[in-house]
Chains A and B, each alone.
Chain A
Amino acid sequence: MASETMKEGKERYKSGVIPYKKMGYWEPDYKIKDTDVLAMFRMTPQPGMDPEEVAAAVAGESSTATWTVVWTDRLTACEMYRAKCYRCDLVPNTGEGTKTEAQYFIYIAYELDLFEGGSIANLTASIIGNVFGMKAVRALRLEDMRIPVAYLKTFQGPATGVIVERERLDKFGRPLLGATTKPKLGLSGRNYGRVVYEALKGGLDFMKDDENINSQPFMHWRDRFMYCMEAVNKASAATGEVKGHYLNVTAGTMEEMYKRAEFAKSLGSVIIMIDLVIGYTAIQSMALWARQNDMILHLHRAGNSTYSRQKNHGMSFRVICKWMRMAGVDHIHAGTVVGKLEGDPLMIRGYYDTLLDTHTPLNLEKGLFFEQDWASLNKCMPVASGGIHAGQMHQLLTYLGDDVVLQFGGGTIGHPQGIQAGAVANRTALEVMVQARNEGRDIWNEGPQILQDAAKWCGPLKAGLDTWKDVSFNYESTDTPDFVPSATTSV
């Protein structure tokens, strides 16, 4: 696999078309620099295409190349600016003799000067800007990235971070508990706040707007904000705890979002919320605002599954996690393993590590293809939401650990004895499981018994367990890691 790059000079720049491999975008012996941005794609070439040539084309089109030779390259330090594909491996269990067409893991190194500091928009315009539509690739998926420390230092990172969030909320040593107000559409502000009050008074830490609750005819945003803050403060007085409601400030323009965020602040909210669909730049702007205004910033990953779920095309959610930690959100929905939404346990652990670690080692089982030093960026709290209930507490705590917000929407509001009872069931199940784990008990196996024992003195927990005892969502994941355990490391 020697480099086939043509020598710089007259021949190299003759008008016409030469293969990307020869233009300098394929450098298998390239020595990676600490300051390089690295990206790894899963690439499916068109049938009959040389995979290395297509890999080089991906490197070329995501950096300096166009389809033909241009002499103006010679006015620049073009060798430096060219992205270099340095590795192209057949994905295990694809290609000849398998049911799946050949796919390749391709590794590309990008010079740091290709990117503007502090701009996710600029980073992504290169990395995912054009290449996904190239004819030479049948499908392409961005699997992982290594962001160099030098580049991370140009980003603010999470406005608050897990550590400071816990200090502000005075909540330590256990996962936080939340729920999304249901039904998500149709409630008036007054009725909506009722749900918030009941759940918070019952024992949850947070309530949450859903992703598509903005300012609709049935409930305009100012009404929602005011009733929710009445509920939050009343519940805080009733329990002696700091409580919060993620007020969704997502709107059609930045101006409107700032206006809503300011109003949330004026009402004393500790947290606001935005949706991923507002875009990277808007997210970064809101993160700056949140840092300036002592606000926790919750991000709902609305829309991500349109491009993150299919294994052969789009991008992995772990890359979204990296970008969002850089962009500066404090919370992001990152999967439940056991709930109603997509998720393989090890892949989800990979997302959680990406959000929470100060340093993430390479781990192919978790889908982490690169080692990542987080350069002291704050930690971002993962949120587990969607189809989870108290009966799964031992599984949730085992899979997800302490640094997570567990969101039991239906599992709180749908409780047969009412919303407060639902909250009591969830909080009791959580505390009893944390206690048991700390005592050294094997909660994975003893979990159901631990819950049943607690249900003897906690009526609401008993009712909850009886209602949801058989609910589980055992579908096979579409997004699983492909790796050979003995594979050599990538760098």
Chain B
Amino acid sequence: MMTNPGNQITQGQFSFLPPLTDVQITAQIKYALKSGWSLAVEYTDDPHPRNTYWEMFGNPMFDLKDPAGILMEINNCRKTFPNHYIRVMAFSSAYGIESPTMSYIVNRPKNEPGFGLVRQETDSRSIRYTVHSYATEKPEGERY
């Protein structure tokens, strides 16, 4: 069990808030669309802080400008992967940014075992650290 405040992984913009409702998620989608960004849904069962590439639930929805349609994609992903981490991301293609501009978690496994810290004692008192995800002790797809 995770022992940080909230007892959960706190990646993303809104991990310190109560779980977002569909209405709240839609409000954030509207903000992204109004800013000219494209939305994407991604999921994983390896939430290591440096696991950059979560699986894409389809390509970013460059041409979908309807918040209800995007919410439907999010809910499809939740139905397909009810026990995975799912995040909504926004991408800006504007010059000077060309990078993600939003990222927030909209689905989590029921139990979040979190991570252990592996310390490898090396020269002198130096230590090499590895953050180890307990969930990844099981194979992909069988973790939560």
Contacts and interface: CB of A to CB of B under 8 A. Distances in A.
Given A172-B103, A379-B96, A431-B17, A233 B131 contact: yes
B127 A226 contact: yes
Contacts of B18: 457
A173 B17 contact: no
Contact of A167 (B17, B100, B114): B100
Contacts of B52: 167, 170
A261 to B, nearest CB: 15
Contacts of A268: 128-129
Contacts of B49: 170, 236, 240-242
A423 B116 CA distance: 22
Contact of B126 (A266, A424, A428, A439): A266
Contacts of A217: none
A174 interface: yes
Most chain B beta carbons < 10 A, residue from A166, A237, A424 = A237
A229 interface: yes
Contacts of B31: 438-440
Contacts of B103: 170-173
B130 to A, nearest CB: 9
B102 interface: yes
Contacts of B50: 170, 242
B101 A234 contact: no
A405 B115 CA distance: 26
Interface string A91-109: 0000000000000000000
A160 to B, nearest CB: 13
Contacts of A343: none
A40 interface: no
Given A233-B129, A379-B96, A241 B5 contact: no
B98 to A, nearest CB: 7
A237 B28 contact: no
Contact of A237 (B102, B117, B126): B117
Interface string A227-245: 0011001101111111000
B22 to A, nearest CB: 14
Contacts of B100: 166-167, 172-173
Contacts of A167: 52, 99-100
A216 interface: no
Interface in A428-448: 428, 431-432, 434-435, 438-440
B52 to A, nearest CB: 7
Contacts of A464: none
B104 interface: yes
B117 A172 contact: no
Q: How large is the interface on B (under 10, 10 to 19, 20 to 34, 35 or more residues)?
A: 35 or more
B5 A420 contact: yes
A166 B101 CA distance: 9
A331 interface: no
A405 to B, nearest CB: 15
**Interface of chain A, helix or strand or loop or mixed?**
helix
Contacts of B104: 173
Given A239-B9, A358-B96, A438 B28 contact: yes
Contact of A428 (B16, B24, B128): B16
Given A170-B49, A203-B16, A238 B3 contact: yes
Contacts of B62: none
Nearest to B123: A266
Contact of B24 (A201, A236, A435, A458): A435
A202 interface: yes
Contacts of B129: 229-230, 233, 268
A279 to B, nearest CB: 30
Contacts of B15: 431
A236 B47 CA distance: 12
A458 B132 CA distance: 30
Contact of A163 (B24, B99, B116): B99
B27 interface: yes
Nearest to A461: B16
A183 B30 CA distance: 44
B99 to A, nearest CB: 5
Nearest to B48: A240
Interface in B11-44: 11, 13-18, 24, 27-28, 30-31
Nearest to B118: A237
Contacts of A379: 96
A427 interface: yes
Interface of B: 2-5, 9-11, 13-18, 24, 27-28, 30-31, 47-50, 52, 89-90, 95-104, 114-117, 125-129, 131-132
Interface of A: 163, 166-167, 170-174, 201-203, 226, 229-230, 233-234, 236-242, 266-268, 358, 379, 420-421, 423-424, 427-428, 431-432, 434-435, 438-440, 457-458, 460
21 contacts: A163-B96, A163-B99, A170-B52, A172-B101, A201-B4, A203-B5, A203-B10, A233-B131, A237-B116, A239-B2, A241-B9, A241-B11, A266-B126, A424-B5, A431-B14, A432-B16, A435-B14, A438-B28, A439-B28, A458-B16, A460-B5
Closest 7 CB pairs of A and B: A240-B9, A173-B102, A438-B31, A233-B129, A358-B96, A237-B117, A237-B115
Given A173-B90, A238-B114, A266-B126, 17 more contacts: A163-B96, A163-B99, A166-B99, A171-B103, A172-B13, A172-B89, A172-B101, A173-B103, A229-B127, A233-B131, A237-B116, A237-B117, A240-B115, A421-B5, A428-B17, A434-B13, A439-B24
